[in-house]
Structure 1
Amino acid sequence: MQQSPIAELRARLRLPLIAAPMFLVSGVALVSAACVHGVIGAFPTVNCRTPEELDGWLREIESRTSRSSDASGVAAAPVCPNLIVHRSNMRLQDDLAVLLRHRPELVITSVGSPAPVIAPLHDAGALVLADVASLRHAERAVEAGADGLVLLTAGAGGQTGWLNPFAFVRAVRRFFAGPIVLAGGISDGVALRAAEMLGCDLAYMGTKFIATHESMADARYKAMLVESSADDVLLTSAVTGLPTSMLRPSLLAAGLDPDNLPARGAIEIGNDIDIDARAARPKRWRDVWSAGHSTSGVTDILSVAALIDRTTDEYHGGKQVF
């Protein structure tokens, strides 16, 4: 009997894990290292300044991962570009054209319906995973033809979901038998095994990959994650206009009061006449940093290889975690 595409994919992975696509964090070095060490490496295409740079990134990642495959005899894990499909992404069609030339095995769609990109991506041989934050969004993504779903749950970093992961996964499993990826709260291999028991095929790990040597994050950001815990994560709409998990210490460092934030989406938004004043305002993502509830699991800054080794040990029970 022929294996399903997701079963074939999992057979190539060291862990059923995706290094989550993170804005201004996931770059060539992080993604390549994740793939080489047996974890799916994902990144938002908008991390590249232009479609031409996106083409260059994909070529470089393909080069690095193919060299690894040749040396070890084992194919690297897939790279997984993340397309922002919201109408505000004016580069969507250009970025899509680049992906179609490179024919990735997996693509994640975010912030909108995957319907406009599913047919061309399928024609190029890609499986499409749509991220969703509600049951209705999940139903619509399935109806549109998505191959799998990324469930954004309470505790995920960045623009997050609000549903409890236990309830969300089990509710989706009532109507969808395809691949499910759990996003939110995966801080170690024990949590990853729990996600599988819950009914997930894969899971995101994001916050811990921010604090790796290969990530593009500012060194201060990485250090802040080591020093912070889940109690330092604040859910607010003030930064992006949507519910987003942000680090309290970064809000304080940017001169903002976490307990008295401006109106929804007000940070960096305004019509200052004074150019210097406008430039000095804190910028979302650049100066105000995000993290998920798994921040409590970030205890040191590691290489991607060391993080995956540690997570693999936890996953297989080599380290007892109470």
Structure 2
Amino acid sequence: MDTPLTELVGVRHPVVQTGMGWVAGPRLVSAAAGAGALGILASATMTTDGLRAAVREVKSRTDAPFGVNLRADAGDAAERVRVIVEEGVKVASFALAPSRDLIARLKDAGVVVIPSVGAERHAEKVAAWGADAVLVQGGEGGGHTGNVATSVLLPQVVRAVDIPVIAAGGFHDGRGLVAALAYGAAGIAMGTRFLLTSDSTVPDAVKAAYLAAAVKDVTVTTKVDGLPHRMLRTDLVDALERSGRAVALLRAVRHATAFKKHTGTGWVRMVRDGLAMKHGKELSWSQVLLAANTPMLLKASMVEGRTDLGVMASGQVAGVIDDLPSCAELVDRIMAEARATLRALPHAG
């Protein structure tokens, strides 16, 4: 199934595995890439040396194209871009809009640039700056999310830009791929669905929590880092919802210290990143500090398996997923279902 996405990045299928922190490591990315999808390595929780090692591990596992997800507002973004260019990574994706200069530097090196956006105007901006494609996530998606459904946001963005648009938020099967294509998308991106595969390194206890969740068990809270964040509702999330500002800020300081130690990020850089984040999203200082909660609370669940002490970012589709296929089985199933769905559609006279 050839689309502008498959032609742009050289993958067999118009499916993207998103760059989820602590989840999208070399094993999952190489499995997704080997299955014919575009695997995206999550780098925000890695040191730059760790990123280079992870890229090389993916390359040792597969010859298929893959990408790296970056934080555009990180103080060391330029260093991470250098790693991507030097290691010959095919795609750079961004959770926030990269600068015009960063896009130009990547494109000059032959790297495909795919920012993620949550609004029509953001898509227009990065398209004007030279982005090769955009990934647009509707409110159904996991992690940081907006309040506009994919079915409303996607056609807006498709109409607004003339570059390939990848649809995210609410996708998990071949019928969804066909729906996205009908809206004008060039493919779909999935996070929760790839997290729930046998190739994912997420601990079994955490996967079990996802599989047990119903649609009503997926909620949006601002209590983790001050921004809307879609995740599984747990006792911890309920406790965070009840906690006051002072307790939340103390927790954030503790988590910021832990994250600094894990990534080797100095306080000066963390402050500089905070300033960039504050400016880019017009956040208060308390919200910037709360942002330190996210990586460490995710690590507690996605790495350490602590469903009681960690949060579990989740798209609403967790409520309809009930199995753990391999990435190869998942992608093959999606493509077979998509083709069957297309064949079954009535043809206009």
- Alignment partner, residue 50 of structure 2: 53
Deviation sequence 1:264-310 (CA, Å, 0-9, x none): 993773567xx9xxxxx995212111100111232022222222232
1:284 is aligned to 2:300: no
Task: Provide the C-alpha distance between the structure 1 equivalents of 2:313 and 2:252, rounded to a whole number of angstroms.
Answer: 22
1:293 is aligned to 2:278: no
User: Could you tell me which amino acid in structure 2 is paired with residue 301 of structure 1?
Assistant: L
Aligned match for 1:156, one of 126, 133, 141: 141
1:84 is aligned to 2:76: no
Instruction: Give % identity.
Output: 29
- Alignment partner, residue 117 of structure 1: 102
1:266 is aligned to 2:248: yes
* Pairwise CA distance, 1:5: 6.9
SS in 1 for 2:80: helix
Which stretch of structure 1 is more off in the superposition, 28-37 or 302-311? 302-311
Task: Provide the C-alpha distance between the structure 1 equivalents of 2:67 and 2:78, rounded to a whole number of angstroms.
Answer: 17
- Alignment partner, residue 206 of structure 1: 191
Task: Provide the C-alpha distance between the structure 1 equivalents of 2:186 and 2:342, rounded to a whole number of angstroms.
Answer: 23
SS in 2 for 1:46: coil
8 Å contact kept, 1:85–1:110: yes
1:166 is aligned to 2:122: no
**Unaligned regions of 5+ residues in structure 1, if any?**
67-75, 276-280
Describe the shift of the 1:10–1:99 C-alpha distance in structure 2 as closer, same or farther (beyond 3 A). closer
Describe the shift of the 1:270–1:173 C-alpha distance in structure 2 as closer, same or farther (beyond 3 A). closer
* Pairwise CA distance, 1:11: 6.5
- Alignment partner, residue 88 of structure 2: 103
* Pairwise CA distance, 1:10: 6.8
Describe the shift of the 1:192–1:261 C-alpha distance in structure 2 as closer, same or farther (beyond 3 A). farther
8 Å contact kept, 1:114–1:146: no
Deviation sequence 1:168-219 (CA, Å, 0-9, x none): 1222223312110111000211111111111100211110111122223232
SS in 2 for 1:284: helix
8 Å contact kept, 1:188–1:297: no
RMSD, aligned CA:
2.9
1:8 is aligned to 2:7: yes
User: Could you tell me which amino acid in structure 2 is paired with residue 84 of structure 1?
Assistant: R
Greater helix share, structure number: 2
Task: Provide the C-alpha distance between the structure 1 equivalents of 2:238 and 2:79, rounded to a whole number of angstroms.
Answer: 37
Higher relative contact order (CA 8 A, sep 6+): 2
**Unaligned regions of 5+ residues in structure 2, if any?**
258-292, 301-309, 345-349
Task: Provide the C-alpha distance between the structure 2 equivalents of 1:192 and 1:262, rounded to a whole number of angstroms.
Answer: 42
8 Å contact kept, 1:20–1:204: yes
* Pairwise CA distance, 1:115: 2.1
